[in-house]
Chain A
Amino acid sequence: MATLLIADHDGAKLGDATAKALTAAALVGHPVDILVAGENVHAIAEAAARLDGVAKVLVADGATLANLLAEPLAELVVGLADRYAVIAAPASSAMKNALPRVAAKLDVMQISEVTAVVAPDTFERPIYAGNAIETVRSREPKLVMTIRGAAFTATASGDASAPIEAITAPGASAASQFLGADLTTSTRPELGSARIIVSGGRALGSAEKFDAVLAPLADKLGAAVGASRAAVDSGYAPNDLQVGQTGKVVAPELYIALGISGAIQHLAGMKDSKIIVAVNKDPDAPIFQIADYGLEEDLFTAVPAMLEALK
């Protein structure tokens, strides 16, 4: 039997999340095929085929898959399920949406956000915002799981290419229709793959100040920008920048938290970063309890001083 890994992508390129999920999928032990579903995704399929160790790439190209809506994607994957012992996907928003639909159709309980492969049927996953780690063993005939990218290093790509096989895309669903998207465009690195993240909290006070303070530092460091829920709820930053239990989970080399108190829900998204820096004017802010370097200062003076020191 084999493993089917569903690729995550934004329609233009294969995300880093897929290469990370491949590392976990390979640990289960079966040969791994990658499914690339979407519209005009041949370049993405070619990139998937160059990932080390991939057995085969299946490409389903069609308008119905353009936005990776759960209904057609699940239908496609369920149709392929007979051939696979394991169905895995990165824990991206598109896959978190579609994979439980696949699991239920197959009458299988899904394992969400796998952070370690203990044995071919046994996995670790965080619960309670990462305050506990559960080891679960599946008794299911098939495994369906999402993989947390922050817990695995990306599989490398080489020159060798796995075979690419075209498969048929499902027909349109009358019940679910894509109306539009409002996507954040940024030239900065993605949160999921950035080496450095500069993250801002409620202390920034407005969207203008959020940008005025964070952008120069992020640009200087080549960093991605993140935010706390409070900053997103207050409209200082778009929703896709939220780091935490219910936002993105990241583990960069360096995470700089500016004016973020360190609520457990925020820590859930960043506490596995290699080095954590906290700038906060409250000496008792909980973020200091997990920060490698804490600077107790007003961020509006500290950030310009950091820029000065970086010159």
Chain B
Amino acid sequence: MKIIVPVKRVVDANIKIRVKPDGSGVELANVKMAMNPFDEIAVEEALRLKEAGKATEIIVVSIGSATCAETIRTALAMGADRGILVKAEGRIEPLAVAKLLKAIVAKEEPGLVILGKQAIDDDSNQTGQMLAALLDWPQGTFASRVAVDGEHVEVTREVDGGLQTVRLALPAVVTTDLRLNEPRYASLPNIMKAKKKPLDETTSEALGVDATPRLEVVATREPSGRQAGIKVASAAELVAKLKTAGVL
């Protein structure tokens, strides 16, 4: 079984972003970029399935500008087999990403698509569910455990009340939550090897997908700020202040 792992290039999770003063978006020039952390977890899970003999090939897909090739190389250095870069400029919404991925799934016929539950830039939490819908496949989102067993995959999901386990007939879409695994670091020899792994390029036109955004971003602003308050000297003073403030 092949596994497709879509990965997104996003601003590094440790960076505090700034909104452009003119409200036209978030400052991305000269900002450190990285693979979306949830997608790293997806790559790791695919690698583990391959190491356990449940998968034969791992194909990493990224959609965006030419620089997304770096993100694909990171996944190849972790151990994925080959990459596909779908070149596209500008804002690509989850619905368009799902359509592009559907076109790639049609060509590659994977048994499983594993991807992050959300991208830490737009925080949409949509792509996996949309892909499953377009393919008419079952979905196991927010996974904290994935077990492939023959023609099925069992997924334990992080839900509001705790955990829920579902059993899906393959092919299926799985989206990862934080506690699924801890992604490995790529070793130097593997980083070198990754440079020689195949990386194909395609475009939304070639895949026959109209990726025009459906939502118009009218403005981007800073959230209303919060001022630091005061330091109190003791627990007793804290309780007294909270009583005065009327919350206790």
A contact residues vs B (CB 8 Å cutoff): 10, 67, 69-71, 74, 92-94, 96-105, 107-113, 122, 126-140, 173-184, 196, 221, 229, 232-233, 238-240, 245-246, 248, 253-254, 264-265, 271, 274-277, 288-297, 302-303, 305-306, 308-310
A132 B17 Cβ-Cβ under 8 A? yes
Q: Assess whether B163 is interfacial by the CB under 8 Å rule.
A: yes
Query: Which of B58-66, B73-81, B105-113, B234-242 lies at the binding interface?
Result: B234-242
Min CB distance A126 to B, Å, is: 7
Main secondary structure of the interface of A (DSSP, over half): mixed
Min CB distance A190 to B, Å, is: 9
B contact residues vs A (CB 8 Å cutoff): 11, 13, 16-17, 19, 26, 38, 93-95, 98, 117-118, 120-134, 137-139, 141-142, 144, 154, 157-169, 172, 177-179, 213-223, 226, 228-232, 234-236, 238-242, 245, 247-248
Q: Roughly how many angstroms separate A232 CA and B123 CA in the complex, as a whole number?
A: 21
A253 partner residues in chain B, CB cutoff 8 A? 247
Min CB distance B114 to A, Å, is: 16
A139 partner residues in chain B, CB cutoff 8 A? 214-216
A-B contacts counted at CB < 8 A amount to 259
B222 A132 Cβ-Cβ under 8 A? yes
B161 partner residues in chain A, CB cutoff 8 A? 10, 181, 183-184, 240
B162 A133 Cβ-Cβ under 8 A? no
Min CB distance B131 to A, Å, is: 8
A293 B129 Cβ-Cβ under 8 A? no
Min CB distance B162 to A, Å, is: 4
B162 A100 Cβ-Cβ under 8 A? no
B95 partner residues in chain A, CB cutoff 8 A? 103-104, 107-110
A233 B222 Cβ-Cβ under 8 A? no
Min CB distance B39 to A, Å, is: 13
A173 partner residues in chain B, CB cutoff 8 A? 138
B141 A70 Cβ-Cβ under 8 A? yes
B120 A128 Cβ-Cβ under 8 A? yes
Q: Roughly how many angstroms separate A109 CA and B141 CA in the complex, as a whole number?
A: 19
A129 B130 Cβ-Cβ under 8 A? no
Min CB distance A44 to B, Å, is: 15
B215 A176 Cβ-Cβ under 8 A? no
Q: Roughly how many angstroms separate A44 CA and B172 CA in the complex, as a whole number?
A: 32
Q: Roughly how many angstroms separate A272 CA and B157 CA in the complex, as a whole number?
A: 27
Which among A100, A176, A184, A265 is the interface contact of B138 at CB below 8 angstroms?
A176
Min CB distance A152 to B, Å, is: 16
B162 partner residues in chain A, CB cutoff 8 A? 181-184, 238-240
A131 B236 Cβ-Cβ under 8 A? no
A239 B158 Cβ-Cβ under 8 A? yes
> A109-B93, A138-B214, A232-B179 known; A182 and B238 CB under 8 Å?
no
Which among B17, B123, B128, B169 is the interface contact of A113 at CB below 8 angstroms?
B123
A246 B228 Cβ-Cβ under 8 A? no
Which among B94, B217, B240, B245 is the interface contact of A134 at CB below 8 angstroms?
B217
Q: Roughly how many angstroms separate A229 CA and B179 CA in the complex, as a whole number?
A: 9
Q: Roughly how many angstroms separate A179 CA and B159 CA in the complex, as a whole number?
A: 14
B130 partner residues in chain A, CB cutoff 8 A? 100-101, 103-104, 110
B137 A175 Cβ-Cβ under 8 A? yes
Q: Roughly how many angstroms separate A290 CA and B225 CA in the complex, as a whole number?
A: 9
Min CB distance A278 to B, Å, is: 9
